[in-house]
Structure 1
Amino acid sequence: MVNSAVLSDTELTALLKEGDLQAFTNIYNRYWPPLFLHVRRMLSDDDQAQDVLQDMFGWLWQHKSELHFSSSLAAYLYTATRNRVFNRIKHEKVKTNRLEDIRLFMQKGSYEADEALRYKQLAAIVKSEVEKMPEKMRQIFELSRNQYMSHKEIAEMLNISEHTVRTQVQRALKILRNKLGVSHAVLLTIIAMMD
């Protein structure tokens, strides 16, 4: 039995693709400490840094047989981790912006039961319209709005261009705005309330 702790990244990657748990463990042990420091510097939060890395390494193991990258293992792991950090930051920013939109909406007048009911009705229409969308458009829209995935991530996941993803999301939003007769900001607020 070869001691995989002394193997190169290339050798470890090849073993990982074959489902070698020891190779995965060695990659994890080799890269967790520097990646943790890198993520902690970006997020300034140990718990969030650990969450990001757990997510990234979990994804790595689940998709081990599909791994294809032209650069080094280290570069791949740093890029994958950095993308997750950016998604987390984007997700937090989106949540903050949506909450601010809702707060501003509520300040414009008294937030009475009939307004809450109207939002529920609009949310039901949004859900219904999303379900009626062509399958690819619905899938892209849900990954973008519900999973907070970037256009690039969706494109890579579905093996399509970023332009296609952007176009599908824009078309989906236009369909919903036209159906509901509301502004873009109000539509995003309704979608946020559906989370």
Structure 2
Amino acid sequence: MKLDGTYTDHQLLELLKGQSRAAFTEIYNRYWAVLASFATKLLEDEDEAVDIVQDVFTNIWNASETLDITSSIKSYLYVSVRNRIISKIRHSKVKGFYLDSLSEIYEKGEFVTDEQVRFRELSQQVEMEVSKLPTKMREVFELSRKQGMSHSQIAQELGIADDTVKKQIHKAIKVLRMKLNSLLFSLF
């Protein structure tokens, strides 16, 4: 059925509630161009404006059986377009804020990844376990691993044999490996 353009908005709305494609087409033809112009003026972006108007008409068709419009269809359409534009602008501002924040964090180098968190946790656990080693063993281990001293340098500084240094480091690694195995499994 083709409508001749003599129907009022109220009549078209009643026909639309009955899912009349002709009524929808008449409403669309009557208001699409003015709504697109209205949206373009507010958004200053014709493509986004057209998308918003299309979405409003799509939603009207999809909800046509349950539409409860108490004002005129024209007012309803303008308010719907305006509300979508406001929502779009808000979303853009929030998105911009978060992008700016992420950019700032990245520039300052303040980002933290899961790997960095796991590395920190593992480092803390290793430090705690090293602190539990017997005093002499801990001292030898720390000189070797933290200060990068060779076995002979450690032996000379502590006044012990090279073999003793090697044994202490070997024992320390063995103890730490046993204590940290379960932690490594849970982290990775």
TM-score tier by shorter-chain length is: 0.5 to 0.7
Q: Is the 8 A contact 1:16 1:64 kept in 2?
A: yes
Q: Is the 8 A contact 2:3 2:26 kept in 1?
A: no
Q: Residues 136-151 of structure 1 correspond to what in structure 2 (within 5 A)?
A: none
Q: Which residue of 2 aligns with 1:73?
A: 73
Offset of 1:108 from its aligned partner? 2.6
Q: Which residue of 1 aligns with 2:40?
A: 40
Q: Is the 8 A contact 1:4 1:12 kept in 2?
A: no
With over 3 angstroms needed to count, the CA separation of the structure-2 counterparts of 1:104 and 1:79, relative to structure 1, is: same
Q: Which residue of 2 aligns with 1:117?
A: 114
Equivalent-residue separation in structure 2 for 1:17 and 1:80 (angstroms): 18
Offset of 1:4 from its aligned partner? 4.9
Offset of 1:54 from its aligned partner? 0.8
What amino acid maps onto 2:113 in structure 1? A
Equivalent-residue separation in structure 1 for 2:54 and 2:79 (angstroms): 15
Q: Which residue of 2 aligns with 1:93?
A: 93
Q: Which residue of 1 aligns with 2:21?
A: 21
With over 3 angstroms needed to count, the CA separation of the structure-2 counterparts of 1:27 and 1:119, relative to structure 1, is: farther
Equivalent-residue separation in structure 2 for 1:11 and 1:104 (angstroms): 56
Where has structure 1 moved over 4 Å in runs of 4 or more? Answer: 118-121
With over 3 angstroms needed to count, the CA separation of the structure-2 counterparts of 1:2 and 1:77, relative to structure 1, is: same
The alignment partner of 1:7 has SS state of coil
Q: Which residue of 1 aligns with 2:57?
A: 57
TM-score by length of 2: 0.58
Unaligned stretches of 5+ residues in structure 1: 122-195
For residues 100-119 of structure 1, the C-alpha deviation after alignment (integer angstroms, 9 at most, x for no partner) is: 111122223264xxx23279
Q: Is the 8 A contact 1:53 1:81 kept in 2?
A: yes
Instruction: Report percent identity of matched pairs.
Output: 36
TM-score by length of 1: 0.56
With over 3 angstroms needed to count, the CA separation of the structure-2 counterparts of 1:71 and 1:110, relative to structure 1, is: closer
The alignment partner of 1:5 has SS state of coil
Offset of 1:68 from its aligned partner? 0.9
Q: Which residue of 1 aligns with 2:107?
A: 107
Flag the structure with more relative contact order, 1 or 2, with Cα contacts below 8 A and sequence separation at least 6.
1
State the superposition RMSD in angstroms: 2.2
Equivalent-residue separation in structure 1 for 2:12 and 2:59 (angstroms): 17
With over 3 angstroms needed to count, the CA separation of the structure-2 counterparts of 1:63 and 1:118, relative to structure 1, is: farther
What amino acid maps onto 1:117 in structure 2? D
Q: Is the 8 A contact 2:40 2:46 kept in 1?
A: yes
Unaligned stretches of 5+ residues in structure 2: 119-188
Equivalent-residue separation in structure 1 for 2:79 and 2:116 (angstroms): 40
Q: Which residue of 2 aligns with 1:8?
A: 8
Could you say which structure has the larger radius of gyration? 2
Q: Is the 8 A contact 1:18 1:65 kept in 2?
A: yes
With over 3 angstroms needed to count, the CA separation of the structure-2 counterparts of 1:62 and 1:7, relative to structure 1, is: same
